[in-house]
Amino acid sequence: MSIERFDAGPRMSQAVAYGNLVYLAGQVAETRHGQSVTEQTREILAQIDALLARAGTDKTKILSANIYLADIATFGELNAVWEGWVVPGQTPARATIEAKLAAPQYTVEIQVVAAK
């Protein structure tokens, strides 16, 4: 089986496909950083949609998601966007964790693994 890397950089790839699995790096808001959790989450989910499409899959095939919040008090705000994005009956296993993110302007980071 071959390994396919998407947007490979010196430290990481944004996505890696191997066999029937696609692994996404943690996604953060690129243009809406510093904005609300709602706005950052919307941008991140759009990035996830785009990366999954490039890898030949979609959000209905996400197996697991790890979500990192700079402030767990924004859990409800995140969920309001998440619940409008996931497909009912196709929700992945998920963990949400409060964590210090790479830079203070980031309030959300989402990492997923999907099947093809």
Q: How many CB atoms lie within 10 A of CB 10?
A: 4
Q: Which structure tokens are listed for 7?
A: 């947007």
Q: Output the CA angle 22-23-27, nearest 5 degrees.
A: 125
- pLDDT tens sequence across 40-95: 999 999 999 999 999 999 999 999 999 999 999 999 999 999 999 999 999 999 99
Query: Using one digit for the tens of pLDDT, what is the confidence trace for 12-32?
Result: 999 999 999 999 999 999 998
Is this model's pTM higher than 0.85 or not?
A: yes
Q: What is the CATH topology of the domain spanning 3-115?
A: 60s Ribosomal Protein L30; Chain: A; (3.30.1330)
How far apart (Å, rounded) are the C-alpha atoms in residues 79 and 38?
Answer: 9
- Annotated domain spans of the chain: 3-115
